[in-house]
A and B are shown apart, each in its own frame.
Chain A
Amino acid sequence: MCGMKKKLFVVIPVLVVFLCAFAQKKTYKRYYSYNIRLSFTNLVGSEPLQIDSVYQNPFGEPFTVSQLKYYISNVSFSNSDGKEVKVPNTYFLVNEQDSASKNFMVNSLLGTITAVNFYLGVDSLKNVSGVQTNALDPLNGMFWTWSTGYIMAKMEAVSPLSKAPQQRVTYHIGGFKGENNVVKKISLPLSAALKLKPGDTATININADINKWFAGANDIKIADINFCMNPGPLANKIAANYAAMFSVTSSFSQ
């Protein structure tokens, strides 16, 4: 009897320790996390965008871009089973004039991916939660102070066909509420499944053709429309167009 008791004294604590360790393992289940670099290249049609070069939009209207910025947020990856895993807290501001901003690293929890997804724009929650930091800091010039909300995408250009002062073309596209929500979820399938290796960095190259801003679902001619700086029907039209500007050109794992 006494020996039994002694044994219990040993067995129970050992059991408790193992149980704790097990519980611990369950909470902290280790995932491999794979590094993926998303690399954006802005194009006009098939030509690489150069600030201050003259291009033609789909209507043959010449224009010269002086500024191009857009938000990429809520990145997620999908696999062939239809499983989609979000990368937490992903907010990036792609700025044509800042080459570092066009490449950024994210982590995938899926080992094999068949599509990359993201929002073009900033989700409504971040539009109603006060002042944010880093890419979402209002000092980046992508935030309306007089009517709270992010400018999701911004193109500023000059065109001889614009009837605005200094022939300016100003498209500041925003709106996060109801029917004027311009945040677009973009899903880009990869041409082949991308198998990721732990410790390596894969790259997904994404093109953005800014000529898509002008045509597609809606005709936006510079001669008619040189200015958009409010959420509303016009912003919705331009956003419906530019939602189609992205395509994956290549993806590879090193």
Chain B
Amino acid sequence: MHRQFTILLLLATVVVSLSFIKQKPKPRKPGTPVSFVVPKGWPAIKYNLDSNGLTKEGIALGRRLFYEGRLSKDGQFPCASCHQPFAAMANFDHNLSHGFNNQFTSRNAPSLANLAWQTAFHWDGGINHLDVQPLAPITAPNEMAEDISTVLDKLKKDSVYPKMFKAAFGSETINTQRMTRALSQFLLTMVSANSKYDKAMRGEDSFNLPQKLGYTIFKAKCASCHPEPFFTDFQYHNNGLSMDPVLKDVGRMQITGDAKDSLKFKTPSLRNVFVTGPYMHDGRVFSLFDVLDHYHKKMVVGPTTDTLLKNKIPLSNFEKGQLVAFLVALTDTAFNKDKRFSEPPNAPPLNFSSPGHHLN
């Protein structure tokens, strides 16, 4: 009897004590978690997933938004109008892209591969967070030309989006933060690490002779600004392009206000470079051979030109050929054909009027 009483008392004690333990309700993130896989040998990503963990639903929403014409003023300019999957998410064969009301964009649309490792966006690095990035093209009068509240209103009135926001974020609330986080989730999945170069590095494939020779030349003459594995140092350089008299683009100086940054632009990654032409910040160079000619001969050396380029880059025609062979080996065909990045099958119909805007 006493024993039973004691056991009961102990049990009661345990129950009462447990009730004092701080019960912090763990906020359950809605959606099906998707883990981010860092390719073997690559550094940790820079994007903070703690505040925006990937989910199947978030990525699906981001993908739909990426192909959503209504993010633009007249419905014709979704993100995907300038960032096409088959061009490694750059704009195929466009030096400058097309924006609202027959306007040109002011810079060449970059590839969107491996954004998880980037901390600054745009050719001038003016944007400091991936989530903030889409607000620039959406609001730029010569790009998507829309204002953010109108975009959100259009999404709120749609029959599908409120449900997709609920699936991704737990409620039907549609706001700027959720929209841009969903876009980031989709963009973060765009990892390109399966080119012939990657396979050769992993021992799954091997370079042919020109590629092998090109790789050696590349390491000697290009890799200081285009280091592996991203083939960019994420820094800003003046690589000897004269200022375009119409665009008058001073590059990094526009952000820092520092004359030392005049005509400096962020080093682009060379991954998929074969399919992301035309090249340079304003797309003025149309082929890889012309790019190499630029560094070999055509550069304009000015006061802010990178010290490594003061004497241009000595290159023989033979070396140029080998280099191009190597650069082609940076093409990640699996990435460029990845169905996960293509227009979602249930996407709203797009209303493209000019042949320049085919998506597939």
Contact = CB atoms under 8 A, between A and B. Distances in A.
A binds B: yes
Interface of A: 6, 9-10, 13-14, 16-17, 20-21, 23-24, 27, 127-133, 137-139, 143, 145-148, 180, 230-232
Contacts of B139: 145
A232 B180 CA distance: 28
Nearest to B184: A130
A145 B176 CA distance: 13
Interface of B: 2, 6, 9-10, 12-13, 16-17, 20-22, 51-52, 122, 126-132, 135-136, 138-140, 147-149, 152, 175-177, 180-181, 254-255, 257
Contacts of B122: 146
Nearest to B135: A145
Contacts of A13: 9-10, 12-13
Given A131-B135, A145-B127, 14 more contacts: A13-B10, A14-B13, A130-B131, A130-B181, A131-B132, A133-B175, A133-B176, A138-B132, A138-B148, A145-B132, A146-B127, A146-B136, A180-B257, A231-B257
Contact of A130 (B13, B152, B180): B180
21 contacts: A9-B6, A10-B9, A13-B9, A13-B12, A14-B13, A20-B16, A129-B51, A130-B52, A130-B132, A131-B132, A131-B180, A132-B177, A133-B177, A137-B175, A139-B147, A139-B148, A139-B149, A146-B122, A146-B127, A148-B127, A180-B257
A232 B13 CA distance: 65
Nearest to B21: A20
B264 to A, nearest CB: 15
Given A145-B135, A148-B127, A148-B132, A16 B180 contact: no
Contacts, number: 90
Given A10-B9, A17-B16, A137-B175, A143 B135 contact: yes
A139 B152 contact: yes
A16 B176 contact: no
Contacts of A20: 16-17, 20-21
Contacts of A138: 132, 135, 148, 176
A5 B149 CA distance: 72
Contacts of B126: 146-148
A139 B132 contact: no
A127 B129 CA distance: 9
A78 to B, nearest CB: 31
The 6 A-B residue pairs with the shortest CB-CB distance, nearest first, are A13-B13, A130-B131, A20-B20, A147-B126, A139-B148, A145-B135
A16 B13 contact: yes
A228 to B, nearest CB: 12
Nearest to A129: B129
A88 B215 CA distance: 55
Contacts of B140: 145-146
Nearest to A5: B6
B129 A130 contact: yes
Contact of A131 (B2, B147, B176, B257): B176
Given A9-B6, A139-B148, A148 B128 contact: yes
B180 A6 contact: no
A144 to B, nearest CB: 8
A35 B260 CA distance: 51
B176 A128 contact: no
B4 to A, nearest CB: 12
Contact of A9 (B9, B21, B147): B9
B13 A17 contact: yes
A27 B17 contact: no
A21 B148 CA distance: 50
A131 B148 CA distance: 12
Contacts of A145: 127, 132, 135-136, 138-140
Contacts of B254: 147
A139 B180 contact: no
A9 B129 CA distance: 60
A138 B180 CA distance: 11
A158 to B, nearest CB: 22
Contacts of A180: 257
Given A6-B6, A139-B152, A230 B20 contact: no
Nearest to B22: A27
A27 B122 CA distance: 47
Contacts of A21: 20
Nearest to B120: A148
Contacts of B22: 24, 27
B136 A6 contact: no
A147 B132 CA distance: 10
Nearest to A24: B20
Contacts of B175: 133, 137
A128 B13 CA distance: 49
Contacts of B180: 130-131
